[in-house]
Structure 1
């Protein structure tokens, strides 16, 4: 009996993972909610380009008449340009989601439904950071719509179906699988699902469905050497889109949380230098005036968790913070001086935050130099501070020269950098740095963490201090 039950379970599992016999029922179910989008934009007239013909040439009259048949002296009138895209209805009262690049700068937006009905749409709000736009149409009758699904539940290998208006050919369906998760293209908040379902120009803004008819992504981009689908398409995950859409619907704009720190990923040698058991989290390089500063966060802290969720890296933290409501008080766990500490931070709004970026310049000279850790170092003086426009309060060691075959150069240090901390303690003299190196060796550590500033931007670098 046990063997029979096991075989039945395996057979059920195999059936669940097999390819669907047909996508026809699913396509028929969701098609009424998928729309074609046509945008119209007026392009201002401009001065035409006339050929250079010598005055008195027998061709002068010919080219004048050919280039300016209306006698307008080459001034071309305004013309109207059209573009095509896709979208989908998310509510019976007419809210429609598409890509921002589909409707950007459009003067008129027309929505064509599967039934053939055409309605004008207005823009409710856009978010260029995620390339999402929210539109609205008015209809006498409730519109068919599709719900969002949970993109976090999608696994590599799951079946998906894309719908849209590829190359202006009208409503079209393509199917494939999830090829990869968590892809980043260029944006701060990117979380793309990669799929081999065919996506072409005109599919932008259309939905990517799971097999339950739920939208798990918005088709946005393709990777292609020729402009056509080669099986590498990207859809912004519904986990990102739903949050953006909710804000656009409520405010007409995005309102993302802001922590107020500069951060970088934790590498294995940095983790060793800090005394962390694993290389994860976000290492704080600077804490300008803002929410984190007010809560007591310090440069050198490693953010391990945010609002109850574990932080893996900087990209994940940026998304977590951005998806959190402005004004919310959250608990942030940091690693500092060998122990964890919990801070309570009230988030600001990223869109209105002002980033203070101090200026810097490359030094031309420096006094009393010392060679150490593959670098030629000199302490900051008033003259150097003035030359480098660092401000009177800046302290540290200036990298005057660097061995291009050494570890420091390999890890990105360059002449003109300023080392302000070592082992998470301030350094103002070479003796301070030597003491930090000895302390690290005495503690049995192989690396020493340096805080380095370049052009006003701080970052941490871990250098080997093994004998």
Structure 2
């Protein structure tokens, strides 16, 4: 019986390194030689379980015979248990497959992933966007979902992606195992669209646990990772497992990402990427898509070290990054394509598809200029150019070398600040107490006369109805000869109201306003019964309306905020 305790025992063994696991030595057991190591050992690492597998195999065993071995686990010398494992001899020799037998055993028994730690600090995020008026005059808004993680239990700070909350009018945080119908209100403290990181603050976070940060710089390709989030907005507290596929991916904007095959979907954005010990090593941000095959197993996360630097800048003030105004005017040239622009052979380039119309490159670069160097650095592609520009200090100048009509030229372009974010809109003023514009169509002579209850024409941004998730009726375009005409596609009508358990059918907007006024004076909420009707099929202007469902919305009546008292905050 042999116990491989350290590097000196590696002769005849295969060394296998697992992500965040002890180093494993897999020994080859050969019945024909007394000198061949007969066993498997583990080199202990600090703060990990030390394990030793002792294999005793009689030399006269035949091929295929079962071999039993004792597996003893010790934590700093203390024996924790003895297990039996059945192994099988093949071809006179025994090979313990690390990825199948022993590896799986160590994953399950030596150090289980800190799943509870991951889930305890993770949150789901629900938002509703501000109401916008579209080209048909309808009020439109949407519900959105994302994920995040608690960074501080003292000030209730949550991190997520910028795009999760970019257009949010209201934000709710849903912690693990949350059972209340409404989440915890939150607001945006600061947000950086360039690195796609946002900092939120919850109104309270009692009993929640903050996440611990890992070090994304120490990650290695092949390390095991876990993604926690709320896929599709319907599956909170979900976790998926994968490995780091690549450490340095650069997508549009020149931002660096970790690539992994941990499955993420819509709704996972902003959630944490954890290591086995439950430490955050990334912020899940994007997934590669392939319309022909669905999921691709290619996910992108902002390395946590980069996120920490981004948040440090956010806490210090307005974020800043370089920009020269080229935006979406660039496309990448492969080396063989760049060669046709007379770029030196074997080098890629980036060309403009049209003349710049704004920004510091206006008048200096033109369509079909092929850029191949910036500040003397040969470009490796479009993402490399964007990285060089975005990481340049606003106010500095870039030395840009390019080919124009086959002739090499050079120009200096001033770097501008890429930060250009408009403040969120203020709440709209509304009449009445519900933030809706209603109409009574019962007296109409056309198909509108079929709707006897008050029809919702418009919902006011951040009014009581909007906060309660009420949608308005919608129109659609159709083509009539050379012209575009609009038609009513969806109708939403308030058919009844429930107050103190009593149902009352509504006949007019005045009836609803009267009930809302009484509820406002007493501080009570009301429950609206709303029927939805759609044309079937929806894309035909002459198709009849069909009832497609009834929903209920709990609305808290409130008077509109006076113009002098309006606020620009998201909450």
TM-score (normalizing by structure 1): 0.49
Q: Which has the higher contact order (CA 8 A, sep 6+)?
A: 1
Greater strand content = 2
Greater helix content = 1
